[in-house]
Amino acid sequence: MLHKTRGIVLNHIKYSETSIIVTIYTEMFGRQAYIINGVRGKKSKIKANLFQPLFLLDMEVYHKPKRDLQRAKEIQNASIFYTIPYDLKKSTIAIFIAEILYKTIQEHEPNADLFNYLFNSIQLLDFKEKGIANFHIYFLLHLTKYLGFFPDNNYSEKYSYFDLKAGNFVQIKPMHFSFLDKEPSAFLNQMLTFSDNQHENLHIHYKERIQILEKVLEYYALHNEGLSSVKSLEILKEVFH
């Protein structure tokens, strides 16, 4: 049976000279892998350039439960990007976010709230004209709402150290190393409370931003088994330096 669903590209690998396997987070079926044949052929109806990181798709697919590889009849853009493929910083953020999503989202069931958060956030990244330096940190923090480990934002002047293991702010420095000092903890609190427009105006120095980002990734690794290392992190650091 054919189904129509939207999808978000997470990853693709070469399968043969003309085919690829693409991992897509779909609105109807959660995470799925599709074999796309003949994408490099001149007569192919489905072109390889559709499967760049975080591309938003409209799909008509065949679906068989518990099958490792699904097949698609038709795929096209659901939303044409105006900036992400052509802006080095945005395209680097897209690669970084796609890697995080590929490693952390494993469920093969639909999650409408998660899908809508991803879809809308990716469109927002494309539309933004300024203030994208903090986007990926803000995105990752608020993604944890849907992954099940959103921090308890009990920040105050008294509780001013963020404990990554506990997932909240504490009064004194923890005995372990998985925590943020006072100043980056204050920035983290703002990221948790600001809207997606307010964080544009949050001025953080490069070194502090990298420190916060690395600690957010450590927080993910502590609370999500899928995330150990992130290959695109070093590229992100270089591009935003």
Q: Could you please state the CATH topology (level 3) that the domain comprising 2-77 is classified under.
A: OB fold (Dihydrolipoamide Acetyltransferase, E2P) (2.40.50)
pLDDT single digits (tens) 61-73: 999 988 999 999 9
- What pLDDT sits at residue 220? 97
Domain spans of the chain, in order of start? 2-77, 130-239
> What angle is formed at CA 76 by the lines to CA 75 and CA 77, rounded to 5 degrees?
140
pTM across the whole model: 0.94
Q: What percent of the chain has pLDDT over 90?
A: 80
> What angle is formed at CA 62 by the lines to CA 61 and CA 63, rounded to 5 degrees?
110
Is pLDDT above 80 for 113? yes
CB hemisphere CA count around 156 (13 angstroms)? 5
* Mean pLDDT along residues 153-178: 96
